[in-house]
Amino acid sequence: MSKLARVSLPKALAYRGGQPMIAWLLHRISGIGIVFFVSMHILAAFFLYSVESTSTTGLVSDALTAFYEALPMQVFMLFAVLYHAINGLRIVVLDMFPALWKYNREAMWVQWAVFLPMFLLPAALMIMRVQI
């Protein structure tokens, strides 16, 4: 649990945390993105099955479904899930073996080397709509 930060926005933006800060930020952003997507998806699917499709709830569920089935959202979800998984794996491994924390910087470069091909290849396939 971090202590509450009492800094202004310009100061926060000027803070140069480097790689660890980027990883922390992306982990939070991807985590929030996944929670919103999954909750939206489950609730929209629930209402699509349980209410009249012409009712307001049905129309809202239809719109939500169209939103999260759109290509940009799918690519973002691939990014979020993959980044959150790989970064989370690094955190779990380093927490399990705290002696390894001194190799955190190297671990982060390895992480990018694993993440980028795993993200870019499927993302390209999704954009080109290839059947795997």
Partner 1 sequence: MVTPNASVARGRSGSKFETVMWFFTRVTGILFLFMGALSLVYANLTGGYGNMDAGAQMRWAFFPISFHVESSAVEVTPNFSNPFWQAYSFLLVAFAATHGFNGLRVILTDYIRRPLLLAWVKAILLLLWLLVLVAAAFLVFVFTG
38-42-43-44 Cα dihedral, nearest 10 degrees: 100
Residue number with CB closer to partner 1 (99 or 130)? 130
Residue in 22, 69, 102, 105 binding partner 1, rule: CB under 8 A:
69
Site string for partner 1, 90-129 (x = CB under 8 A): -xx--x--------------------------xx-xx--x
Name the residue among 93, 86, 130, 92 with its Cα closest to residue 112.
86
Minimum distance of partner 1 from residue 126's CB (angstroms): 4
Amino acid at 45: A
Classify residue 23 by burial, with Cβ atoms within 10 Å: 0-12, 13-18, 19+: buried
Minimum CB separation from partner 1 for residue 112, in Å? 19
Calpha distance 21→47 (Å, rounded): 39
| Gap between the Cα atoms of 132 and 40, Å rounded | 27
Among 64, 81, 108, 114, contact with partner 1 (rule: CB under 8 A): 81
Q: Are 83 and 27 in contact (CB under 8 A)?
A: yes
Candidate list 26, 43, 60, 108; residue touching partner 1; CB under 8 A:
43
Instruction: Say how far apart CA 112 and CA 132 lie, in whole Å.
Output: 24
With binding defined as CB under 8 A, does residue 66 bind partner 1?
no
For partner 1, the binding residues (CB under 8 A) are: 1-5, 28, 31-32, 34-35, 38-39, 42-43, 45-46, 49-50, 69, 74, 77-78, 81, 85, 88-89, 91-92, 95, 122-123, 125-126, 129-132
